[in-house]
């Protein structure tokens, strides 16, 4: 065995020993290697070292369902591909297609078959065509599977190997400490060939949790990852990964075995010939979320979950006080790691990440404001009983319609400013398709489908959408054009590399200000965002513009003098002031 293979095997054995101390870890390591690199496939001789070359300032991600845009003549994945090429080529470089597998509920997150594409969307060749033109992200819904899947049916019938694939517990177990994102009962009683059993359901009774204490589950999941990589996937989103390992008497979230499994997946990705990025989805407070970077040996990227509620609060309150306070304390991502920045996703605007950051009274004002423009609120169960707000359900575009003082004339400007903050921050910006398309709340979908999250999962008719994008006065055209312009500009600035230096500026609580500097220190950008409806002036000296350099605002083309008059920001105006023109 070569030295590199020996190194990989030893590290695998160490991680597997942490998770499965009772197993023959050497034999299990060979199983893992064979699953991830089946006969005929090849791996790197040495693992990738952490570095800043997995992404660049040109990278950004669109988040979409495979059928967010439809017509009556073509497969939805083909419609999506046409939309991407027609409207976003050269603007967006990565595409996260939310679960595109056969499913029974939760809009794709109750998967029945990890190896198939939902035939109502298309097939693997359609996925591959998108992957040929864009950096493709897929969901690994690894915590749970549909109650109507073949795997679970086999479990009910006692058929090997799936008879040991799902996690069981007893109603008499002490489950009081378990952290839940839902209010439904944790256990579901089912009838099996061996009699009644209670299966663990973190999310819903149609989503049965897999039993990773059985190493066969892990090995099978690695086979599935390999198949996705072979079909063009280059970013693996580990959905709900924090809940992966369960243990009666504990919180069953963020347990050491979960982190060891993420480290194992990272190790395998570091040895793939393909460049594969691991992204963890952990909608939890900051310290817990950042723990998934590990010591540069877990996720390559983590969602910056506090951003949505904090940006929403800043824009609604007219003060960036809490956003500034939080950002000032945020560490730069470790070498080889990056934040994924966003304001909206297919889920609601999570409130848990705001814990310890926003005072209760400020959260209550946000909730009242969102409700005033037709938004909804979803709750979560608390350990020991009771409920609290888990997320706000509202399109982010609609959430920008009003401030704490009510509706005004600045809806579009406020929304554009909120998305510009995402572009300016250290990390990779991501945009939900309904943000780029200025989609309003879909109340009809909520009523028809009976779920709050449907409010932000509108399905556009492609002909109608193209007509709106062709109309220069529509919200869809205005928002798409301006966000596309800013994204193209951003992609030309080395100071916006996801790992470029960042420093939070404390100028005025109404201004969210950042200093970004390129890795080679050649370019600086002072990104200033007015989150208020007031016109503000900032002295050039306050932002430390160096005399002798030529400074200009990339967004307006205006020349800025280091010793001149105040830099004026109109209500909700953003400025990217740089000493280096785009090449």
Using CA atoms, how far apart are residues 32 and 413, in angstroms rounded to an integer?
51
* Residue 1 confidence (pLDDT) above 80: no
Mean pLDDT of 67-83: 97
Is residue 557 domain-resident? Answer: yes
Is residue 524 domain-resident? Answer: yes
Helical pair 256-270 and 3-19, crossing angle rounded to 10 deg: 160
Is 393:402 a contact under the CB 8 Å cutoff?
no
Using CA atoms, how far apart are residues 442 and 456, in angstroms rounded to an integer?
6
Task: pLDDT band for 54, please (50, 70, 90 cuts).
Answer: very high
Q: What DSSP string runs through 479-532?
A: HHHHHHHHHHHHTT-GGGSTTSEEEEEEEETTEEEEEEE-TTS--EEEEEEE-S
Is 569:535 a contact under the CB 8 Å cutoff?
yes
Is 239 labelled as part of a ligand binding site? Answer: yes
Using CA atoms, how far apart are residues 136 and 113, in angstroms rounded to an integer?
20
Question: What CATH number is associated with residue 506?
Answer: 2.60.40.1180
Using CA atoms, how far apart are residues 18 and 257, in angstroms rounded to an integer?
7
Is residue 570 domain-resident? Answer: yes
Is residue 553 domain-resident? Answer: yes
Cis peptide before 161 (omega within 30 of 0): yes
Closest CA to 145 of 224, 64, 68, 235: 224
Is 453 labelled as part of a ligand binding site? Answer: yes
Is 106 labelled as part of a ligand binding site? Answer: yes
Q: Which residues are catalytic?
A: 239
Closest CA to 501 of 481, 485, 521: 521
Tokens of 460: 């556009």
User: Which residue intervals of 181-329 are DSSP H helices?
Assistant: 215-230, 256-270, 286-290, 307-317, 321-328
Is residue 505 domain-resident? Answer: yes
Using CA atoms, how far apart are residues 482 and 22, in angstroms rounded to an integer?
58
Is residue 158 domain-resident? Answer: no
Q: Name the percent of the chain lying above pLDDT 90.
A: 90
Mean pLDDT of 435-441: 98
Using CA atoms, how far apart are residues 316 and 320, in angstroms rounded to an integer?
10
User: Which residue intervals of 69-205 are DSSP H helices?
Assistant: 76-83, 124-133, 150-156
Beta bridge partners of 575: 528
- Burial track 337-361 (b if 16+ CB lie within 10 A, e otherwise): bbbbbbbbbbbbbbbbbbeebbeee
Task: pLDDT band for 199, please (50, 70, 90 cuts).
Answer: very high
* Residue 575 confidence (pLDDT) above 80: yes
Question: Domain residues for 544?
Answer: 501-578
Is 347 labelled as part of a ligand binding site? Answer: yes
Is 223 labelled as part of a ligand binding site? Answer: no
The label of the residue with tokens 């609290």 reads: 388
- Express each pLDDT in 306-350 by its tens digit: 999 999 999 999 999 999 999 999 999 999 999 999 999 999 999
Burial class (CB in 10 A: 0-12, 13-18, 19+), 7: middle
Task: pLDDT band for 2, please (50, 70, 90 cuts).
Answer: very low
Is 330:302 a contact under the CB 8 Å cutoff?
no
Helical pair 76-83 and 462-470, crossing angle rounded to 10 deg: 10
DSSP H or E segment with residue 411: helix 411-424
Three-state DSSP class for residue 149:
coil
Query: Count of residues for the chain?
Result: 583
- Express each pLDDT in 245-275 by its tens digit: 999 999 999 999 999 999 999 999 999 999 9
Task: pLDDT band for 5, please (50, 70, 90 cuts).
Answer: low
Give the total number of structural domains in the chain: 1
Mean pLDDT of 123-150: 98
Is 237 labelled as part of a ligand binding site? Answer: yes
């Amino acid at each position: 065995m070569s030295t590199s293979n020996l190194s990989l095997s030893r590290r695998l054995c160490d991680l597997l020993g942490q998770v499965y101390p009772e197993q023959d870890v050497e034999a299990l390591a060979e199983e893992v290697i064979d699953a991830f690199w089946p006969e005929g496939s090849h791996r790197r001789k040495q693992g990738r070292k952490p570095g800043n070359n997995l992404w660049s300032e040109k990278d950004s991600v669109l988040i979409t369902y495979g059928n967010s845009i439809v017509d009556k003549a073509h497969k939805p994945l083909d419609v999506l591909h046409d939309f991407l090429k027609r409207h976003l080529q050269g603007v967006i470089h990565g595409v996260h297609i939310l679960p595109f597998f056969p499913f029974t509920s939760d809009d794709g997150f109750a998967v029945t078959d990890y190896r198939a594409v939902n035939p109502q969307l298309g097939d693997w060749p359609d996925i591959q065509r998108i992957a040929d033109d864009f950096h493709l992200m897929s969901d690994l819904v690894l915590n749970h599977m549909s109650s109507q899947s073949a795997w679970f049916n086999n479990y009910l019938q006692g058929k090997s190997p799936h008879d040991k694939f799902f996690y069981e517990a007893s109603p008499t177990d002490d489950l009081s400490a378990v952290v839940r994102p839902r209010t439904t009962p944790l256990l579901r009683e089912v009838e099996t060939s061996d009699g009644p059993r209670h299966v663990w359901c973190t999310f819903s009774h149609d989503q049965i949790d897999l039993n990773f204490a059985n190493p066969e589950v892990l090995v099978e999941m690695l086979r599935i990852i390999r198949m996705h990589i072979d079909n063009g996937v280059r970013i693996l989103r580990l959905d709900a990964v924090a809940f992966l390992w369960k243990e009666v008497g504990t919180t069953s979230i963020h347990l050491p075995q979960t982190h060891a499994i993420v480290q194992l997946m990272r190790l395998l990705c570091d040895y793939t010939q393909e460049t594969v990025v691991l992204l963890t989805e952990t909608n939890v407070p900051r310290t817990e979320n950042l723990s998934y970077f590990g010591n540069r040996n877990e996720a390559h990227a983590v969602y910056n979950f506090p951003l949505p509620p904090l940006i929403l609060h800043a824009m609604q309150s007219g003060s960036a006080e809490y956003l500034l306070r939080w950002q000032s304390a945020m560490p730069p991502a470790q070498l080889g790691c990056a934040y994924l920045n966003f304001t909206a996703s297919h889920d609601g605007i999570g409130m848990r990440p705001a814990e310890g950051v926003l005072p209760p009274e400020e959260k209550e004002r946000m909730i009242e404001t969102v409700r005033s423009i037709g938004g909804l609120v979803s709750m979560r169960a608390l350990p020991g009983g009771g409920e609290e707000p888990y997320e706000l359900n509202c399109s982010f575009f609609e959430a920008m319609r009003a401030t704490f003082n009510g509706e005004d004339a600045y809806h579009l400007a406020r929304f554009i400013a909120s998305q510009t903050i995402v572009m300016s921050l250290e990390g990779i910006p991501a945009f939900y398709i309904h943000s780029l398309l200025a989609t309003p709340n879909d109340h009809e979908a909520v009523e028809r489908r009976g779920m709050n999250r449907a409010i932000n999962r509108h399905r556009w008719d492609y002909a109608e959408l193209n007509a709106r994008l062709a109309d220069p006065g529509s919200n869809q055209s205005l928002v798409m054009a301006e966000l596309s312009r800013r994204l193209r500009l951003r992609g030309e600035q080395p100071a916006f590399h996801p790992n470029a230096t960042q420093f939070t500026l404390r100028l005025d609580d109404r201004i969210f200000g950042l200093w970004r500097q390129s890795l080679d220190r050649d370019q600086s950008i002072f990104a200033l965002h007015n989150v208020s409806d007031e016109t503000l002036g900032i002295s050039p000296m306050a932002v430390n513009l160096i005399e002798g350099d030529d400074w200009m605002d990339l967004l307006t083309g205006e020349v800025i003098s280091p010793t001149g008059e105040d830099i004026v920001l109109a209500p909700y105006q953003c400025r990217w002031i740089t000493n280096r023109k785009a090449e």
